[in-house]
Every structure is written in C-alpha cells, then in structure tokens.
Amino acid sequence: MAVQRLIFELAISADTFLSVYKGHAKAISTLSSDGRRVEFAADKVRQFLTHDGIYGVFEMEITAENKFLSIKRLR
C-alpha cells in the first residue's frame, strides 16, 4: 500500500472551530506545502484543539485512494 504524506499548516481560532460543534462546518480545507488542496473532516484535528484553537504544522498520511490513515502535529 502506497502511503502519501501531506504537510500543511493550520491556524484556526477557537471561535472559528466552535462552528464545528454547532454543526455549521464539517470539513477543513487547506493547501499542503507542495500546493495540493487538502480537505478532511474537522473531527480529524479535534484532538489538537486548545483554548486558543488549532495552530501548528501537521503531517497527514493517506492511501493512494485518498483514505485517511493518520495525522500528527510536527510543530
């Protein structure tokens, strides 16, 4: 199975992420460091939510079929 790694930065305030809990937003869309559009379910990054929001550089692993495998914060 070929695994793709996407590196991207997120800067989402707590107020903005609150819209996920209210049901107004279900997905996050951003650009990876190599210019690819990355869109994924917002619940994939909920574990990184702090009182300030979600900030940092992340690495997401997906299959060749774009199936989510994992995500981790790099910094």
- Structural domains present in the chain: 3-73 (2.40.50)
- pLDDT value of position 24: 78
Mean pLDDT rounded to a whole number for the chain:
93
- In this predicted model, what pLDDT tens digit does every residue of 16-46 receive, in sequence order? 888 877 777 789 999 999 999 999 999 899 9
Residue 70 has pLDDT above 90, yes or no: yes
**Coil, helix or strand at residue 17:** helix
pLDDT above 70 coverage of the chain, percent: 97
Identify any residues that bridge with 68 across adjacent strands, giving them in sequence order. 62
pTM above 0.85, yes or no: yes
Beta-strand runs (E) in 17-65: 27-31, 37-41, 53-63
